[in-house]
Structure 1
Amino acid sequence: MIGKLKGLVDSYGDDHVILDVQGVGYLVHCSARTLQALPRVGEAATLFIEMLVREDMIRLYGFVSQAEKSWFLLLQNVQGVGSKVALNVLSTLSPAELANAVALGDKVMVARANGVGPKVAARIVAELKDKAPGFASVDPGVAGLVAQIEDRQAPRPVADAVSALVNLGYAPIQASAAIAGAVREAGEDADTARLIRLGLKELAK
């Protein structure tokens, strides 16, 4: 099995790169983000490799980081997600962005990827939620607050403050993060108006 390749970039295709390793050209399929991160033709590059072997095909998938490779494998554990859809997701979201979206239950963010409909996005978020904390950089308090709001268990002032920020045009995740920060500063007993003021200050930072 091939786990890693070091060589010179020979050429690029729409969804792949050919890496010249001591005179042997390996065709490696990559996400758009990975292709953009690689150097120019003739320069040295390193890719972490996942090798897919079938009766009629051997295909290499390349990643600039182990985190990206890990998410590629994790995504394919979800029903309806194959290698193509997994690469589409990683073309749209970085590993950190994907981890945060999954941790926060942000189905809309995941559904931005080409070929990922609302149902598949919902499955990705639900089935990989337990896997995200190891990769995510999001404050656990924010994830908890989002879960409370989705389950309609958040205190009324908190839910109303988040709703107010969303109505002002902020994304639900941004609004939840800002109000989570406001709650930390003002306490859980703060009224809606104060949470909104503090939330707007958080967003202005």
Structure 2
Amino acid sequence: MIAKLKGLLDSTGIDHAIIDVAGVGYLVGASSRTLAALGSVGEACTVYTEMLVSQDSIRLMGFASGEERDWFRLLTGVQGVGGRVALAILSALEPAELHRSVAMGDKAMVARANGVGPKLAARIVNELKDKIGAAPIGSAMAGGLAAVPVGNHASDAVSALQNLGFRPAEASIAVAAAEGELGEGATLDALVRLALKKAAK
């Protein structure tokens, strides 16, 4: 399986790029964010890849970061989300935004992507919420979550959960979810209690 390509950017299209690796041109599907991050034609670039195999085709998808590829894998694991829809979501939301939207249950944000209706957005949020809480993907994604809680006691609550053995990303997700229910004016005690309940689910 091809996991990464490093070469020269040969050309780009609306939803794909061709990467020249030692004279061989690889056609990779890509989100608009990845295409923008690749640079100019003729420049060196690196893409992380995922191979999609179906009965009638084999397609290579390319991503500017490992986090984006991880999200693509998660998204395509949801019923009704194919490669095209997953790329549309990743074009509309960067990984940190998508992580926050799912963690906070923000279906409307996910539904901003082309081809994603309210029902599909709800399914994506519901199916992935537990997965990203139990298994945060990638250090950059976990780092992006550090800014999710915004209330006065949020950072203290995150620290409290970490002291109890929760990973930073798990603690951030739980505190952000608790804060979403209680509001930014919640007391530290209330925030920690609710965050513990959410983290233990």
Q: Same-fold call, TM > 0.5?
A: yes
TM-score (norm 1): 0.71
* Structure 1 unaligned regions, length at least 5: 149-153, 155-178, 189-205
Could you say what the CA RMSD is over the residues aligned between the two structures, in angstroms? 1.7
Q: Give the CA deviation at 1:55.
A: 3.7
- Tell me which residue corresponds to 1:143: 177
Output the amino acid matched with 1:69: R
Among 160, 178, 183, the residue aligned to 2:186? 183
Q: Give the CA deviation at 1:56.
A: 2.5
TM-score (norm 2): 0.73
Q: Give the CA deviation at 1:52.
A: 1.5
Aligned length: 156
> Alignment identity in percent?
59
- Tell me which residue corresponds to 2:74: 74
- After the TM superposition, which residues 41-120 of structure 1 pair with which residues of structure 2 at under 5 Å, given as runs? 41-120=41-120
Output the amino acid matched with 2:31: S
- Given that 1:100 and 1:132 are in contact with CA atoms closer than 8 Å, whether structure 2 keeps it comes out as no
- Given that 2:48 and 2:65 are in contact with CA atoms closer than 8 Å, whether structure 1 keeps it comes out as yes
Q: Secondary structure at the match of 1:98?
A: helix
Output the amino acid matched with 2:38: L
Q: Give the CA deviation at 1:132.
A: 2.5
| 1:123-162 CA distance string (max 9 Å, x none) | 011100012332450233231233x3xxxxx5xxxxxxxx
- Given that 1:8 and 1:43 are in contact with CA atoms closer than 8 Å, whether structure 2 keeps it comes out as yes
- Given that 2:17 and 2:27 are in contact with CA atoms closer than 8 Å, whether structure 1 keeps it comes out as yes
- Given that 2:179 and 2:186 are in contact with CA atoms closer than 8 Å, whether structure 1 keeps it comes out as no
Q: Give the CA deviation at 1:10.
A: 0.5
Q: Which structure: larger Rg? A: 1
Distance 1:43 1:104 in 2: 38
- Given that 1:7 and 1:19 are in contact with CA atoms closer than 8 Å, whether structure 2 keeps it comes out as yes
- Given that 1:47 and 1:63 are in contact with CA atoms closer than 8 Å, whether structure 2 keeps it comes out as yes
* Structure 2 unaligned regions, length at least 5: 150-173, 191-201
Runs of 4+ in 1 over 6 A off after TM superposition: none
